[in-house]
């Protein structure tokens, strides 16, 4: 039987970097274990900030020093040095949005002052340039290095330098410089200006706000067979770190204000929904908050609010999304949210 992506990554880490490196021990759990979903301070591989938890990581290197957990403010006897989330997405045909969906897993560690790594195992696909830009922005904003890489040797070097702050900053700084160049070359070649880039990403830049619109529907978050929570969180952080100087309005035209209120109630303990609702400078916006939107368009959006985006529903949504995009850019529509 073929190894799962999770099992493959964990085995590769242990085989290539070992379970002990320098003065650090590797914390990793067998594939299928739920232990990684527990907080790091409780023996797991999940990090939180002020009671909001992020996705679980695959591995972490730890020292015997004490550590203050940003989730509860308490001191614990084991300190995480580097937290890694890994994926085999580059070998499974994931050349697009799927790569962004796990970015937030190691972000929880970064926001706790722990070096974060999003490791994408080398394969047929390439790492999306936008992921490199996200890592650079996240490192700058959070004040702790977040590295996106397909090079496991680099991870080993970072762990080896962890005790020497200047060497650690040198090697992570070099990696972030390379990431910055990857994105700049891509941006300059295909876009050249941020307005064009934003438009290609279904985003409108108005003043100090970036409005990202997407076809989310309520059932995406209530049907366990769908992974819209992961997708929506990935898109949120993609937008936030691609446009780090902007506030983010995350616009879901197919949803109503009541839909979001109901999800606030029904998903009150859901990790991904909590991230969407608590992220600083990010607001969830629905069709009810689009000032000036014609009633005919509102009614059509309501009619297709529960339909999968295919066939006539997809055609209708794309047409309205384009109208909304143009209307926001021209100032015909506004976002009206208290």
- Same structural domain for residues 209 and 245? yes
- Same structural domain for residues 14 and 163? yes
Q: How many domains does the chain have?
A: 2
- Same structural domain for residues 42 and 178? yes
- Same structural domain for residues 133 and 26? yes
- Same structural domain for residues 301 and 205? yes
Interval 6-33: pLDDT, tens? 788 888 998 888 887 778 999 999 888 8
Using DSSP's 3-state secondary structure scheme, residue 315 falls into helix
- Mean pLDDT for 68-91 is 94
- The better pLDDT of the pair 307, 16 is held by 307
pLDDT at 272 over 60: yes
- Same structural domain for residues 128 and 203? no
Last residue of a domain, one of 187, 209, 238: 187
- Same structural domain for residues 177 and 303? no
Strand partners, 116: 83, 146
Last residue of a domain, one of 187, 203, 224: 187
Last residue of a domain, one of 187, 211, 236: 187
- Same structural domain for residues 169 and 138? yes
Interval 253-269: pLDDT, tens? 999 999 999 999 999 88
- Same structural domain for residues 113 and 31? yes
The token duo for 184 is: 């700049």
Give the pLDDT confidence score for residue 1 in this predicted structure.
Answer: 41
- Same structural domain for residues 10 and 51? yes
Cα pseudo-dihedral 54, 243, 213, 291, rounded to 10: 120
Give the pLDDT confidence score for residue 230 in this predicted structure.
Answer: 84
- Same structural domain for residues 229 and 153? no
Per the CB < 8 A criterion, the answer to whether 163 and 22 are in contact is: yes
What DSSP state is assigned to residue 78?
-
Structural domain harbouring 308: 194-335
Does the model's pTM come out above 0.75? Answer: yes
């Amino acid at each position: 039987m073929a190894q799962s992506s999770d099992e493959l990554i964990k085995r590769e880490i242990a085989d290539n970097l070992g379970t002990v490196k320098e003065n650090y021990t590797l914390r990793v759990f067998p594939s299928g274990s739920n232990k990684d979903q527990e907080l790091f301070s409780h023996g797991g591989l999940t990090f939180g900030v002020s009671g909001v938890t992020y996705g679980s990581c695959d591995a972490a290197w730890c020292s015997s020093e004490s550590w203050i957990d940003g989730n509860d403010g308490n001191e614990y006897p084991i300190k995480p040095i580097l937290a890694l989330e890994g994926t085999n997405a580059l070998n499974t045909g994931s050349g697009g949005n799927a790569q962004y969906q796990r970015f937030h897993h190691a972000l929880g560690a970064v926001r706790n002052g722990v070096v974060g790594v999003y490791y994408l195992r080398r394969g047929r696909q390439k790492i999306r340039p936008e992921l490199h830009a996200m890592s650079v922005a996240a490192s700058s904003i959070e004040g702790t290095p977040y590295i996106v890489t397909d090079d496991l040797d680099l991870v080993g070097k970072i762990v080896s330098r962890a005790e020497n702050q200047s060497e650690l900053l040198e090697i992570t700084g070099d990696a972030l410089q390379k990431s910055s160049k990857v994105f700049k070359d891509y941006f300059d070649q295909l876009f050249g200006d941020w307005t064009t880039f934003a438009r290609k990403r279904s985003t409108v830049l108005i003043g100090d706000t970036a409005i990202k619109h997407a076809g989310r529907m309520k059932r995406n978050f209530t049907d366990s067979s769908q992974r819209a929570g992961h997708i929506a969180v990935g898109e949120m952080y993609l937008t936030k770190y691609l446009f780090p100087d902007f506030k983010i309005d995350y616009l879901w035209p197919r949803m109503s204000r009541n839909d979001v209120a109901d999800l606030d109630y029904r998903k009150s303990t859901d990790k991904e929904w909590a991230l969407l609702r608590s992220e600083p400078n990010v607001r969830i916006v629905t069709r009810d908050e689009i000032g000036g939107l014609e009633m005919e368009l509102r009614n059509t959006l309501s009619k297709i609010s529960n339909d999968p985006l295919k066939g006539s529903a997809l055609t209708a949504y794309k047409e309205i999304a384009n109208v909304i995009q143009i209307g926001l850019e021209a100032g015909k529509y506004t976002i009206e949210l208290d």
